[in-house]
Amino acid sequence: MKSVLNRPIVIHLPSSPSYLPVMRATLGKLCELVGFDRETAGAVVLSMDEALTNIIKHAYGGAEDGVIDIELAPVGEPEPEAVKISLRDYGPAVDPKKIKSRDLDDVRPGGLGVHIIKKCMDTVEYAPADGGGTLLTMVKKLNSQKGKDKV
C-alpha cells in the first residue's frame, strides 16, 4: 500500500515522568521514518524530552494528574522535509520572555533544558495558548542536519 507521512499524530499524555520513555520511543521512530539520521533524531527526541520535563516541573509543579497535548507532525509534500512538535500545557499563564536559558559558564545543576532545546531545534516558539496555558512549537528540518548545507 503506497502511503505518505504527511499528517499529524495527536497525543494526550499524562503529566507524569513515567511516560517520558514512551514518548521518546514514539518520536524517535517517527524521526527515523521522516528520514533523520540517528544523531539528529536523538537531538530532536532530547528536545521534546526537555520540554516535557519543563512542563511537568514548571507548568504542573510536579502534579501528575495534568494532561499535555502533543502534536507530532511530519511537514512537507510529497515527502516530509521537517518534523514539527507542538506541546501544550494547561498550567498557569507564563510570560514567554521568562522562559530562557541561563549563562552556561555558571556551572550549577539545572537550567540547561531551554538551552538544549534552542541548540538542537531550528525554530522554538513559546506562546500563551488559547484558553490558558502555554503552547510550545518547535521545528527541525531535514536539511538542517549536520553534513548537509543549511538553507
Residues near other proteins (CB under 8 A) are 1, 3, 17-18, 20-21, 24, 32-33, 35, 39, 42-43, 46, 49-50, 53, 56-57, 104, 107-110, 112-113, 115-116, 119-120
CA–CA separation, 52 and 67 (whole Å): 11
Question: Are 99 and 29 in contact, with CB atoms under 8 Å apart?
Answer: no
Q: Which does 93 bind (CB under 5 to 8 A by kind): ligand ADP, a copy of itself, other proteins, none?
A: none
Question: Are 124 and 135 in contact, with CB atoms under 8 Å apart?
Answer: no
CA–CA separation, 52 and 84 (whole Å): 15
Q: Which residues bind a copy of itself (CB under 8 A)?
A: 1, 3-5, 7-14, 16-19, 21-22, 24-26, 28-30, 32-33, 62, 64-65
